[in-house]
């Protein structure tokens, strides 16, 4: 009887854990690393389960660095997929290369060339999960998810929600994640079959992750603090763009953010995003007030810097 009870409790816990896929351009800015750290902290708290990490930065150090972070948090088995063929931003990045070359962080992948195709990893991860259960957090370019749309039925069946750090809903400016792969972003907003919530440039830009947290909250030889210190001349504060998307994805009902009315987001040929309200629209974007901002920033700092 007791065993049965434990089994039921374990099943209930597994249900509560949101299966999450993190799709990232790891290496282009430090918020990707802090967002991955936050997801690991939330998994340690039983709130989510990272079922795959896929990469849209076409640089060989991204996969080893993600393997380092996953291994550091005790999850070396998370599948890692690499953009193949049509990836952008191949340029070098110290925040991923320096920790990977240091030789002090255990990991298996030595290069992105050793990682399987991101789209194959995405398909496998989705197929392994219950219907309408998976939350995808896309914090880089739309390259991989646009390719995944070659099988829209798999997406429609398995994905519950796509949360993206993408676009700018305060000004008509082409936002970086959109601008670097405009055709994929256009396709994604046009054809993605599930609800989408976008964290626009203006949300993360209004909350800076403080250098003081890197100094105070992270132990020595932490691969995320290591990346932070190698990304720009330390100390510096940096917008929380990708971290906001990860926080909303796992805790959508905690009031850190509010949502726009429903509508449709589209991308023009210069990468500018436009939101048109529509009652049946599948897209929304995050909005935030000052009280929410204080709470969201505090939570992002505490979770990203939580000791493993
Ligand atoms: Ca990013």
Distance CA 225, CA 231 (A): 10
Residues of the chain with pLDDT > 70, as a percent, come to 95
Centroid of ligand 1 to alpha carbon of 4 (angstroms): 43
- Cα of 139 vs centre of ligand 1, distance in Å, is 5
- State the pLDDT confidence band at 263, using cuts at 50, 70 and 90: very high
Q: Check pLDDT > 80 for residue 86.
A: yes
> 221: alpha, beta or left, given left = phi > 0 and alpha = psi -120 to 50?
left
Cα(165) to centroid(ligand 1), Å: 8
Q: What is the pLDDT of residue 10?
A: 56
- Measure 129 CA to ligand 1 centroid, in angstroms: 25
pLDDT at 5: 62
- Report the percent of the chain where pLDDT is more than 90: 93
- pLDDT value of position 96: 98
Residue 174 confidence (pLDDT) above 90: yes
Task: Output the CA 35–ligand 1 centroid distance in Å.
Answer: 9
E-strand stretches of the chain: 18-24, 48-55, 80-82, 134-138, 159-165, 196-199, 208-209, 238-239, 258-259, 263-267, 273-277, 283-287
Is 6 a residue whose pLDDT tops 90?
no
Is residue 308 very low, low, confident or very high in pLDDT (cuts 50, 70, 90)?
Answer: confident
CA of 148 to the centre of ligand 1 (A): 19
The secondary structure of 47-71 as a DSSP string is SEEEEEEEE-B--TTHHHHHHHHHH
- The pLDDT confidence band at residue 90, using thresholds 50, 70 and 90, is very high
- pLDDT value, residue 12: 55
Ligand 1 centroid–CA 204 distance in Å is 11
pLDDT at residue 213 in the model: 97
Average pLDDT across the chain, whole number: 95
**Residue 11 pLDDT exceeds 90:** no
Q: What are the tens digits of pLDDT across the range 101-115? A: 999 999 999 999 999
Over its C-alpha atoms, the chain yields an Rg (Å, rounded) of 18
Q: What is the mean pLDDT of the segment spanning 187-193?
A: 98
DSSP-derived 3-state class of residue 122: helix
Q: Hey, is 134 helix, strand or coil?
A: strand
What pLDDT digit, counting tens, does each position of 201-216 carry? 999 999 999 999 999 9
Residue 85 has pLDDT above 90, yes or no: no
Angle (CA) 141 144 147, round 5°: 125
Residue 177 C-alpha to ligand 1 middle, in angstroms?
7
Neighbours of 169 (CB within 10 A): 21
pLDDT for 194: 98
CB neighbourhood size of 78 (10 A): 22
What digits encode the pLDDT tens for the residues 24-61? 999 999 999 999 999 999 999 999 999 999 999 999 99
Q: Shortest CA distance to 17 belongs to which of 68, 75, 65, 62?
A: 75
pLDDT in tens, 219-247: 989 999 999 999 999 999 999 999 999 99
Ligand 1 center to residue 279 CA distance, Å?
A: 30
Give residue 150's pLDDT.
Answer: 95
Say if residue 250's pLDDT is above 70: yes
């Amino acid at each position: 009887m007791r065993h049965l009870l434990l089994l039921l409790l374990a099943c209930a816990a597994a249900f509560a854990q949101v299966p999450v896929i993190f799709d990232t351009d790891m290496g282009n800015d430090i918020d990707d690393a802090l967002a991955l750290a936050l997801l690991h902290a939330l998994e340690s708290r039983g709130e989510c389960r990272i079922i795959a990490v896929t990469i849209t930065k076409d640089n060989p150090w991204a996969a080893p660095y993600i393997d380092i972070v996953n291994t550091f948090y005790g999850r070396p088995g998370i599948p890692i997929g690499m953009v193949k063929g049509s990836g952008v931003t191949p340029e070098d990045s110290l925040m991923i290369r320096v920790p990977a070359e240091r030789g002090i962080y255990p990991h298996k992948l030595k290069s992105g060339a050793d990682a399987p195709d991101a789209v194959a990893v995405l398909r496998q991860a989705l197929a392994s999960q219950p219907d309408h259960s998976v939350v995808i957090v896309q914090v880089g370019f739309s390259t991989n998810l646009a390719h995944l749309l070659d099988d829209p039925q798999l997406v429609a069946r398995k994905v519950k929600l796509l949360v993206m750090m993408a676009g700018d809903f305060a000004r008509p400016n082409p936002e970086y994640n959109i601008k670097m792969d405009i055709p994929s972003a256009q396709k994604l907003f046009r054809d993605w079959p599930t609800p989408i919530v976008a964290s626009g440039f203006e949300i993360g830009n209004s909350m800076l992750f403080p250098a003081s947290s890197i100094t105070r909250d992270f132990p020595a030889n932490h691969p995320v603090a290591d990346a932070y210190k190698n990304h720009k001349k330390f100390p510096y504060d940096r917008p929380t763009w990708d971290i906001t998307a990860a926080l909303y994805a796992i805790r959508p009902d905690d009031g850190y953010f509010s949502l726009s009315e429903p509508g449709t987001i589209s991308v023009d040929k210069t990468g500018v995003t436009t939101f048109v309200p529509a009652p049946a629209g599948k897209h929304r974007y995050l909005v935030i007030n000052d009280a929410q901002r204080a709470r969201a920033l505090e939570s992002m700092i505490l979770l990203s810097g939580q000791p493993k």
